[in-house]
Structures are given as C-alpha cells and as structure tokens.
Structure 1
Amino acid sequence: MRGRTALLTCLALSAMGLSACGGGGDSKGDSKTVTIWSSIDQPVQDGLKKSLVAKLTADGSDIKINWQKVENINQLIITKIQAGDAPDIALVPQPGVVQQMNKLGAIKPLDDTLDMTALKASMVPGSLDAGTVDNKLLGLLVSANVKGLVFYPKKAFEAAGYQAPTDIAGLEKLTEQIKSDGETPWCMGIESDTATGWPATDWFETLIMKYHGVDAYNKWVKHDLPFDSDEVKQAADEFSKLLFTKGNTLGGQKAIASTNFGTAGTPMFDAKGPKCWLYNQGSFITGFFPKAVTKDLDANVGVFGFPAVTAGGDNPVEGGGDMLTMLNDSDNVKTVVKAMATTDIGNDAAAGSSFISPHKDFDVSHYPNALTKQVAQVAYDSTAFLFDGSDQMPAEVGTGSFWKEMTAWISGQQDIDKALKNIDSSWPSS
C-alpha cells in the first residue's frame, strides 16, 4: 500500500537507529562504502547481501556494503531525495516511484553501466520495461514475485484425476467438472481491512493481459484504454462467469467481499476433504496456508499459471518485485550495480526465502522446493512479465476507486457498468 505520513517514516527510522529526518547513514562520506536501502523481506535481503559481499570479495574489491532495511521505501526515498540525503542505491517496488525519482533528477541511467545485450538475453521478457523511462533503463528488477497463479490441494486434485488446463476454455471446463462432481470449484476472498478489494484487481489485470496482450494492458494502465471499454468488460464477464455462477465459489458471490484473502485458500486443505479446489493468488500466498500444509508444500500444494486464451499462444504473466535504482554513479557504486545485475546474485536468497529470480537462466536448483520452481517457471515460460497494473495507476485509482468499486460490484451494491464508469470518473486530470 502506498505510503504513510512523513512523521511515521521518521519515527520508524529513529527506531532502527537511522537519522530520522537527516542522514541516510554515517558511512555516506566513505567512498569505499556503498549504502543500499530496501524494504524487502529480511531473508531475501540477507541472501542478496551474502552473495553480493562474496562477489566483491572474490573480485578483490575492498568495497563495504551498508545495506539497511527501511520501512515504506516508496515514500521515504522521495522524502530523502528532496532533502538531498539519499542512499547510493535503492530497491523500490513500484514503477511509479522510479518515474517520480526520475522527475526529481535523482536517478542515474543503468544503460551505460550494464551490458544491456547480455541483460536482455537473461531477463524474463518484459521485465525490463517497467523500469524503462524514455528508452533509458532506470530500474532493474532484482527480486520478483509472480501473480496469476492457481493453487490447488495436490493430493485430492490428483486423486480426482483433474488436470491443469492449458487455456481459459479448459479452466472453464475444469470448473464445471469439479462442480459436476458435487464439489465447489473456487475459493475466493477480497477482504483485506482498509485494502479490501485488491485481490479482485489482480484478477482483472490477469484477464486483461491474457485476452488482449501487452499493448492493450499498458494502454489500460495509462488510461488510454478506459475502464468502461469492451476489453475491461470482457474481463468482468469472465470473472463473474467463473466466480459468480451459482455453486462455483465457496459461500457464493456474497461471501467473497467478507472473506479474508489470507484465509480464503485454507478450506482447500480441510481434514475432511477440500471445501473448494482452486485459488488464484500471488506466489506469497503459501505463507498464509496452514502450518500443517507448509511443512511439506511439495506434497500438499499444486500450482499452475492462469492459462492463456489459446494453448501455446501469447501468454503474459502478472508480477512485481523490487527494482534497483542508482542514485550515485561513482565507480564503486557502479561496481556494486554490475554485481547485482548478475544471474547468480540470487543464489543465496533463493535457498531460504520467497525470492524468485527475474533471470530466466537462473539455476532453479537453488530454489528450496519443487513448488517454488514451478512458480518461477510460470514466469520463465511467459511471453511477457507485466507489473501489477493497479500499482502503476495514480493512487486515487490504483489503491482507491479500483478497490472500492470492485468491492461494491462483488457485494451486489451496484452493477459492473456503474462500477467501471465510477473508476473512469475518478482518474485524475493531471
């Protein structure tokens, strides 16, 4: 979610021993020390730092790494840039923040520092686009997450003879097959406290990119394609067909808005047998599954990527992650940036965290289990990796009206036409 007040940011920094509203680190003046800020999960940060330090040491470098985990980097980095006190490198999770940093003149292009030919060959298709502004690479994806993943109770799924579909028509058939067997196909919940509604936005983003491809998706994200368009309405139709049809979703349509996204998938693993069988979510959701399930993910959980419209056809995937931005282009900082752009920088992070490498040539043997390998492979096999659309939209829409109007529609308070028109009306004029 986007931001807290500057006061809370300062208090959070004070609690971590950083200069609350002043310096980003005492080592800033030491040319041999490179300061990095991020808000990524601690195990991911620790793994990346371990690999980075090992690389620098192996190369005979005497560069020291001061890597600090900070709260809400999206807001903090802008505040610090405006105060003239930014770190050397910042890992930010939203393309919009990269663009803000660029408008402030604080960010350095990576094109001249990195081997772009090698990078393009290594990275998942499309993953460089989110950090590219005016044909310059300003943000490099280092740690990724994958969305549009359909999880299922592996043992029961296989015992029932179900197969992962290869196209959307096959997903519809699987839904009907499960229901004809007397079961409830879908788990679904969009409740998330003040962020209620966001899981529905992920569904729309996935459906729009699957049906209409990269260009239409990017136009929609920029509002060059309005919400009240045939393309978005088609996504709404498929969403309602899969989830609103009687008997398709646990608790029915009305239960979706009041069911918490974190526990919505739990009924798949009920001791008496699955109460629902399919749950479309992001790669992080396994952390919300019951402990008895997560003790052996490979045995208990299956996954497939939300399928393409046509088997073997265009198949973009939604995701996100943390992008490296360079705010100081000294030689030492460039050395660190080059090291962090390598495929094997994630070797240590992958082994003990939720880390997914955005490099399609990453050695998947470093992932801790088969399920993580499958999740990564969904991204590696995609035709394009597209960043979460709502995270790229203005806050008034992406974390405002889009959430609100989806919730109102799903809960039956208004029809989809009204919801989509309301979102269009909320888009800021500038």
Structure 2
Amino acid sequence: MRRTRVTTTFIPITAVVLLAGGCLNDGGSAQAGGAGNGNTGKTVEIMTGMTGDLLNAVKVSLEPYAKEQGITIKWSPSDNFSQLIVTRVQGNNLPDIALFPQPGIMKDLAAKGRLAPLDDVLDMPALKNSMANGTLDAGSQDGKLYGLMVSMNVKSLVFYPKQAFESAGYTAPKSIPELLALSDKIRSEGKTPWCLGIESGPATGWPATDWLEELVLKYGGTTQYDDWTQHKIKFDSPLVRQAAGTFEKIAFTDGNVVGGRKSIASNNFGTAGNPMFRNPPGCFMYKMGNFVAAKGGFPDDVLADIDNRVGVFGFPPATAGGDNPVEGGGDLAGLFSKDNEAAKKILQYMSTKDFGAAGAKGGVWMSPHKDFDVSNYPTKTVRDIAQIAYTSTALAFDGSDAMPGAVGSGTFWKGMTSWISGQQNLGQSLKAIDDSWPSN
C-alpha cells in the first residue's frame, strides 16, 4: 500500500454520504458540460489522490509523452480526493481524467452516466492479455470498463529477515497449514514467529481488518469475498469464523507474537516489524503491504541494503496449488468524455505495458501489467513483490474500503480491536459489526 490507511479510508466516508444524499441525481451523461467534457484542446487536467514520490513517479512516466504530443498536463492532486471529486461532479466542474484510489465512487459515477466507457477507447484484447488477473474487473461496471488501473499495490505479503530466516532452514510456506506449521516450528525453537501491531491513532484496528480480509479471501475466493464485502455473507458466518480462527491461532497463541496478545492493540503498525532486524531477530515474519519496502517504511539502513536484509513471500493459499488471489489495490483512471481526444491519447499511452518504466525506478510505483519489464524495478525485493501479484489468480481490492464507511472504517476496526484486546469475545465483535450495517 502506498499510503497510510488513515488517508485511504476516512476520506471515502464523506464521499459515500454525499453520493447517498443525491448529489449526483442529475443523471447527466458523459457528454454533459464541465471542464472535462467535450474538451478538444491540448491541456488535460488529471485529478488524483496521489501525492509525493508516487505522484512524481507517474509524472516522470507521462509528461515526456504528453510533451511529444503537444499536450500539457494540469495536475490536480488532493489529499481529499474522494470528497472533492464528488463536489466537482455535482458542480459540473469536471477534470478530464480522474485517478480513483478505490473503485467504489468510480462505479457510482459510471452508473450515473458521468464517466465514459473505455471499451472503444483502449485496445481491450491487448489489455486482457497484459493486465494482471482481476485488475480489469476492478474497473468494470455492468460489463464495461470505466476505470483503467494505472498503478498497483499489493497487501498479501509476509516479510522476513532474509539471512536469519534462510540460515535457520526456513522456507516460504505453500499453504495456510504450512504457514501455521512454520509458526509452530519457530516457536518450538525458542524464537518468536510473528511481529504484529494494529495501533494507528484514530484508525487503530485497520491492520487487523487486513488480516481478516486476507483469510476470508483465501478461504472463500473472490466470489464469496465480494459477497462478504456487500454483506450478502454476514460477519457472523462460518466463512468469517474460519478466517478468524486461523488469525487466532497465529496471534493469540502464547509465544507467537512479540509482546504477546496484550501488546498487539498498542503496538504501532509502522514500527511493529522492526524487531525483525535485530541480531538475533526479535521475530521472523511480518504481514504488511508493499509500502513498507519503500521510503518511509522499514528503517533507512534496512532499505539501503534491502535485498540482503529483507525477504518476502506471498501470503499462501488455503491449500497448496489451489486458488491464490491476492489483496491489493491501485489507482483507476476514469475519463469524463469520449469526445476528449487529448485525454484519450493520454489514457491510451497509460494503458500500454511499457508505461511507467521511468517511474518504476524509484521503487514506489508498480505496474498492473504482468508483462511489464520487471528490470525497471530498482531492487529484487520489489521485483519479487510484483511477481507475487502477476502470478496470482486474481487481485481483490481491500474489502473494508468497499464496505459502507460506518462499517469498513468504523465498527470493523473497532470490533477487531475489541476482540484482540480481550474486551469482547469473537461472537460479540462479529454481531456488533453485523448490527451496524446500514439497512439501505
């Protein structure tokens, strides 16, 4: 994940409220007025929630092409993207292209006719052969593509202290039972298998939701996972209880986690993995998104020698050789007018497998194209992370981001924290989350 979870979950709540409140009830078509509609000029406004190094990676990849085409890019980054895009659509003040950090609002706008379908704009057969499994589905609505993924992040990752892990003879598990067996083996040797922390200020609990989402996805596959995020499958269900049971074996077993169960809720997620890099390691596995392998994640001295100090494997499937989806996300490019020739050129270029070669060298941007030249990534660690996504059976977007805000960044966070800290038992937490689900 490129951003901290605080910025990618609080913001959509307001946007969802605005959408539900009828801000887009004009039913406008993709050609209805606005800055982005019918624009045949050479300036293209791109609105995005990207900031910092990630935005710079996209800029250095796109701007040389735009200049060649005589197109000027007007960048409109915003930390409050999800609310602002809804406000701008409401006022018919549209950008030419928007890069949506989650599919929910994009699909709402597509359903209301405010985004142009991309099926006739892009080379769909080429994309179907090139894009990682599930990435086109993430941007599709009613059988048409409205959001092209142009940046990918991966969350189904387990990091480990490379030299110590390999010297001990440990190998990446190929199934969840093998992962549990590895945990038992490490503990039986007097070592601590896992680093784990879910503290994140007012967003405390989100790393725990990632754990549960991961296990629901592995046990249930993408269909049941999607049903769960829509509450067609309840939290208090056999599938979710199975996932929670596996998490409990990992997190609650004495000796399995640095500091024990009592420390998890107060241990900050950003530094929770650092004991891996002690000598000897304080733990041997740490589940987190790919953002920790870039600036601002692991300690600087570790990042400076990451290929020697850090190993990574994909969170394993339920059974060896079985269906193996990964949880992740990315930015989806949407077009506000099919008549905007300059914007179409930009999107067509961003859809190619070679887009991002320059930006990838910084290590914070990842291509959703499985045939992207991975030699563009700066380290073996980043290349390994990319291959985990490229070889998966599907990429599923973060589940709590797809849930209503009151649940996904509310009762789900709180329920997991209450259960882990022992304030509630599992049944009480699951019931509280189910009861909080909006009735419509």
TM-score in terms of structure 1 length = 0.92
Confirm or deny: 8 A CA contact 1:48 1:345 kept in the other structure. Answer: no
Q: Among 322, 341, 344, which residue is 1:334 paired with?
A: 344
Q: How does 1:136-215 map to 2 (within 5 A)?
A: 136-215=144-223
Task: Name the counterpart of 1:34.
Answer: 44
What corresponds to 1:11 in structure 2?
none
The structure 1 segments of at least 4 consecutive aligned residues displaced by more than 4 Å after TM superposition are: none
After superposition, the CA RMSD in angstroms is 1.8
Q: Is the counterpart of residue 262 in structure 1 residue 270 in structure 2?
A: yes
Give unpaired runs (5+ residues) of structure 1.
7-23
Tell me the distance in 1 between the aligned counterparts of 2:167 and 2:270.
26
Aligned partners of 1:53, 1:288: CA distance in 2, in Å? 28
The residue that corresponds to 2:391 in the other structure is 381
Structure 2 spans left out of the alignment, 5+ residues: 1-8, 16-33
Compute the displacement of 1:81 (Å). Answer: 0.8
Q: Identity over aligned residues, as a percent?
A: 52
C-alpha distance after superposition, 1:87-140 (max 9, x if no partner): 100101111111232244321111111111111111111111121111111111
Q: Aligned pair 1:230/2:241, yes or no?
A: no
- Could you tell me which of 272, 283, 293 is aligned with 1:276? 283
Q: CA deviation at 1:203?
A: 0.7
Q: Residue 35 of structure 2 contacts residue 96 of structure 2 at CA under 8 Å; is this kept in 1?
A: no
Look up the equivalent residue of 1:199 and give its one-letter code: P
- Aligned runs of 1:108-147 on 2, under 5 Å? 108-147=116-155
d(CA) in 1 for partners of 2:67 and 2:129?
Answer: 27
What residue in structure 2 maps to residue 64 of structure 1? 72
Per the alignment, residue 330 of structure 2 pairs with: 321
Matched, 1:402 2:412: yes
Counterpart CA distance in 2 for 1:299 and 1:397 is 40
Deviations 1:341-384 (A, max 9, x none): 11111111100141111100000000010000000011011001
- Cα distance in 2 between the residues matched to 1:57 and 1:261: 41
Of the structure 1 ranges 209-218 and 377-386, higher mean CA displacement relative to structure 2 is found in 209-218
- In structure 2, the partner of 1:105 is 113
Cα distance in 2 for partners of 1:380, 1:353 equals 17
Structure 1: distance between partners of 2:130 and 2:249: 38
Q: Please give the per-residue CA displacement for 1:210-248, whole angstroms capped at 9, x wherever unaligned.
A: 111111111111111111110000000000011101111
- The 3 A distance-change label for structure 1 pair 372 and 41 is farther
Equivalent residues of 1:150, 1:279 under 8 A apart:
yes
Distance, in Å, in 2 between the alignment partners of 1:146 and 1:291 is: 21
Determine helix, strand or coil for the equivalent of 1:241: helix
Q: Name the SS for the 1:332 alignment partner.
A: helix
Q: Does 1:411 align with 2:415?
A: no
* Cα offset, 1:83, TM superposition: 1.3
Q: Which residue of 2 aligns with 1:362?
A: 372
Secondary structure of 2:173 counterpart:
coil
Alpha-carbon separation, structure 1, partners of 2:79 and 2:222: 32
Count of matched residue positions in the alignment of Structure 1 and Structure 2: 409
Task: Give 1:376's aligned amino acid.
Answer: A
Deviation at 1:69, TM superposition (A): 2.0
> Structure 1 residue 331: deviation in Å?
1.4
Task: Give the distance between the partners of 2:64 and 2:241, measured in 1 at CA.
Answer: 51
Match of 1:21 in 2: none
Q: Structure 1: how far apart are the matches of 2:53 and 2:250?
A: 37
CA-to-partner distance for each residue in 1:272-306, whole Å, 9 max, x for gaps?
31111110110012332122211111011110000
Q: Determine if the alignment matches structure 1 residue 301 to structure 2 residue 299.
A: no
Deviation of the 1:51 alpha carbon: 2.6
Q: Which residue of 2 aligns with 1:73?
A: 81
SS at 2:86's partner residue? Answer: helix
Q: TM-score scaled to structure 2, two decimals? A: 0.90
Cα distance in 1 for residues equivalent to 2:51 and 2:311 = 24
One-letter amino acid of the counterpart of residue 402, structure 1: F
Q: How does 1:9-28 map to 2 (within 5 A)?
A: none
1:110–1:136 CA contact under 8 A, matched in 2 = yes
Q: Could you report, residue by residue, the CA deviation over 1:404-430 in whole angstroms, capped at 9, with x for unpaired residues?
A: 100000000111111111111111111
**Counterpart residue type for residue 323 of structure 1:** L
Aligned residue for 2:30? none
- Looking at structure 1, the residues matched to 197 and 172 of structure 2 have their Cα atoms a distance apart, in angstroms, of 22
For 1:354 and 1:312, locate their aligned partners in 2 and report how far apart those are by CA, in whole Å.
30
Instruction: Measure, in 2, the Cα distance between the counterparts of 1:30 and 1:134.
Output: 28
Q: 2:300 aligns with which of 277, 281, 291?
A: 291
